[in-house]
A and B are shown apart, each in its own frame.
Chain A
Amino acid sequence: MPRDEKGVYRLIKSVEPESSGPLALSVRNLTVALPKGMDRIHAVENISFDLERSKILCIIGESGSGKSVSANAIMGLLPKALRVTSGTIELDGIDVTDIPPAKLRDLRGRVVSMIFQDPLSALNPLMTVGAQVEEVMAAHNVGSPQSRRDRALALLTEVGLPDPEVMYHQYPFRLSGGQRQRVMIAMALALEPTILIADEPTTALDVTTQAQILELIREIQRRKGMSVMFITHDFGVVAQIADDVVVMEKGHIVERGTAQDVLESPKHPYTRQLIAAIPRLRYEDRDTPEATSETSRLLQVEGLMKTYRTARGLFQRQRVVKAVNDVSFELAHGRTLGIVGESGSGKSSLGRVLIKLLDNDGGAILFEGRDIAALSEREFRPLRAQVQMIFQDPFASLNPRATIGHSLTVGPIAHGMSRDAARTDAMALLEHVGLDPGAYDRYPHEFSGGQRQRVGIARALMFKPKLLIADEAVSALDVSIQAQILQLLDQIQRETGVAMIFITHDLRVASQICDEIAVMQKGRIVEHGPPSHIFMAPQADYTRELVAAIPGRRAGQAEAAQTGAKQ
């Protein structure tokens, strides 16, 4: 792939002469110790890798693999509890493992800089965007106030923010997630660093925004000849952006190589497992029995509305947001309807209105022919057993102060089941969802995210519901766990004939499990149909945009990495 020569587009001359050598970053035998009482002794153990000049190195691994710790060790930003016990980190030829803090601070921003996962918490909410970009330069005594201002404007233009003059004076809360991430990138680029470390910079963003940010990073990297270390958990992203890949598992590097080699012919079983677990778009429809007769209709939603109103202040106009705007659909027994959309599309509000955690403002929800939208909380309570939900965050959806057993049985007991019967059922269900029945007496914090999500599923199944609403049920999980949970849900549906509404932002996941898909945008359903239609022949512009933005759509194919890079 042709690359621009290094230094051609540099706007500021570097203060120090650059050290030569082919490696921008070299990590040798790095070991970082974890505090006592954690599940292993080292966060990363004896890892070595190199970042070549003007290349993008992707470090991929699941949560707990030590990839973020490596990045923070390089930046010298490890939390106090973690310590580098051995090894060297050479940034541009300078060993940073034991240099004085003042020296390290000078290197940060100038030689190496970092973009974080959550752009909202990484930006100072009380400073304008322009001031924050300038601050980076001021901290390193670069330029005069006037030149810093010009430079900040140039940077904001460079990262593709619309109307940089206006943007310059904005506060972060006025910007969208993607725009904030662009500001972060502008800050990281302010001093023309040799190395850019990006720690999951697109994970918190919607797919369409993710695609844009990836493209921006790729483009800037190529234009400036920067070296980028890109941390991710998503092989789709790797396929799109990486030159080289390092695969990490539990603090060790298990495989490394060029992106093409690793994606096409993974050697290590863990890599193979990861690649196999990538949710892929499935273009053919699911083979569940077609809903035929009128009698099998379970749920019928007609013209459903949910409006949020902000309180009317003394000087403010009331703001009205139509989160769910005239939504209608039907669902039959044993079928799955996927509801996809980006953040703010109203899909979660829809889920919560359906289960009456939120009240609707109009329309009807006919559950087995009865309008549950009109029922009061008290009237609906006996029916709650029929409609259950699986929540997004397995860490927040279980009461941390209650045992798993309590969480599972409290509902049925409140509905009049005997304690013993509930216990027997709970034990059986725990086993069914793939957990040890011994989990019954333990607390949520003793389990991993995937295990907790299994508990969440078991809880929803305790009542043998007719309708299950899964709200981003696999979004917080690692890909390999994601695949297992999807399989479990599929298996449960085939066994019990429960109908499911599967809410997700990930089209790939939706294509795996749904019989029908409804695409939501700004509270409305813009397209509705079987996955084959949605993905093969999307009608609405928005759907087309969504489908096009799916990262690494053809991950694993040789052309993918190439075309992805050329685009």
Chain B
Amino acid sequence: MTAVAANPGQGRWWRNRAVRRFANHRLALLGFTMISLLTITCFIGPYFLPHDPLYIDLSVRFTPPLVDGYYFGTDPLGRDIAARLLMAGSVSLLVAFSAMLMSIMLGTLVGLIAGYRGGWVGAVLMRTVDGFLAFPSIFLLLALAAALKPTPMMVTIIIAITGWMEVARIVEAEVRSLREREFVQAGRMLGLSGAHIMFREILPNAMGPIIVAATLTVARAILLEAYISFLGYGIQPPLPSWGNMLGGAQQYLASAPWLAIIPGLAITIAVTSFNFVGDGLRDALDVRDDRL
């Protein structure tokens, strides 16, 4: 349509528009609020709780929630579940975020080079990506976790290694279409180096999909961490994580169901929130959609 023109001098409209669209996405906004609350309580909350997450008091084992100042009750060793949940949350979120950062960086780098260079360089890189994708990621994850010493750092790296391929594919596709745009040709005409064109000209334009992928990767990383910790190959007790709290609750499912329900809910809330935010960002950053 020829008649619709953007208002000149209105500031950075794409920002405003993206923000406005995100704000109109109710679930995304809900997810965003939940994540913020979750993060703040996980990292600041422990200072306001009366009990230490690692303090064992066998006299109060299996206290149900909301009794004696134990908001979420206690576990088989009499530790405060509320305190443990928040500490576990900070561990899980930290692991998930670090894993996301690593896989985004690796995936973006590979995708950018493969997409921009194309040819055999691109082919080699993308076939490597396919190779990684060919491994069933859960088995790879478990095999690696079983073979390596399961420190939080190792868990993070393992999760990152199984998660960067999707990002690489998304970035590669995006860069391949951006590469043909005239402003990139103009960059070549100006005699800019390949690295400069890739990182300074193309990358900022590919940020939308990368941000969306990042959000969804966090959700995936939280799940994977819970997965391997639940099976006992991830974060090792006494350091709590949502996954190993769930794992420890298995045998008491009938007698003390809150042991499983509470960390289970925490995982569900975190993962759905990140997914909602991811969906909202995808809609908000998608320029092809011309709804206003």
Binding site for B on A (CB under 8 A): 34-35, 37-39, 43-44, 63-69, 72, 79-82, 251, 352, 355, 357, 381-382, 384-385, 388-389, 391-393, 396-402, 407, 410-411, 414-415, 442-443, 445-448, 456, 459-460, 463
Q: A39-B7, A398-B183 are in contact. Are A445 and B13 (CB under 8 A)?
A: yes
Assembly CA distance A409 to B229 (angstroms): 52
Q: Within 8 Å of chain A (Cβ to Cβ): is B193?
A: yes
The secondary-structure label for the interface of chain A is: loop
Q: Is the CB of B185 within 8 A of A402?
A: no
Q: Is the CB of B8 within 8 A of A448?
A: yes
Most chain A beta carbons < 10 A, residue from B3, B8, B12:
B3
For residue B22, give the distance in angstroms from its CB to the closest CB of chain A. 17
Q: Is the CB of A415 within 8 A of B182?
A: no
Q: A34-B4, A38-B5, A69-B1 are in contact. Are A384 and B189 (CB under 8 A)?
A: yes
Q: Is the CB of A399 within 8 A of B183?
A: yes
Beyond A388-B190, A414-B192, list 8 extra A-B contacts (CB 8 Å).
A43-B3, A64-B2, A384-B189, A391-B186, A396-B183, A400-B205, A448-B5, A448-B8
Assembly CA distance A68 to B292 (angstroms): 19
Assembly CA distance A411 to B190 (angstroms): 5
A445 / chain B contacts, CB cutoff of 8 Å: 6, 13-14
Contact partner, B183, options A68, A385, A397, A442, Cβ 8 Å = A397
Interface size class of B (residues with CB under 8 A): 20 to 34
A456 / chain B contacts, CB cutoff of 8 Å: 186
27 contacts between A and B (CB under 8 A): A38-B7, A39-B5, A63-B5, A65-B3, A67-B2, A67-B3, A72-B1, A352-B185, A357-B188, A357-B189, A384-B190, A384-B191, A388-B189, A392-B182, A396-B183, A397-B182, A399-B201, A399-B204, A400-B183, A407-B183, A407-B186, A410-B190, A411-B192, A414-B196, A446-B6, A446-B9, A448-B8
Q: A397-B183, A414-B196 are in contact. Are A385 and B191 (CB under 8 A)?
A: yes
For residue B203, give the distance in angstroms from its CB to the closest CB of chain A. 9
Assembly CA distance A507 to B3 (angstroms): 28
B9 / chain A contacts, CB cutoff of 8 Å: 442, 446
Q: Within 8 Å of chain A (Cβ to Cβ): is B127?
A: no
The secondary-structure label for the interface of chain B is: loop
Assembly CA distance A393 to B182 (angstroms): 8
Q: Is the CB of A81 within 8 A of B1?
A: no
Residue of B nearest to A412 (CB): B190
Q: Is the CB of B3 within 8 A of A64?
A: yes
Contact partner, A410, options B12, B188, B200, B205, Cβ 8 Å = B200
For residue A124, give the distance in angstroms from its CB to the closest CB of chain B. 19
B192 / chain A contacts, CB cutoff of 8 Å: 410-411, 414
Assembly CA distance A407 to B187 (angstroms): 9
B68 / chain A contacts, CB cutoff of 8 Å: none
Interface residues of B in 1-50 (CB under 8 A from A): 1-10, 12-14
Q: Is the CB of B205 within 8 A of A399?
A: yes
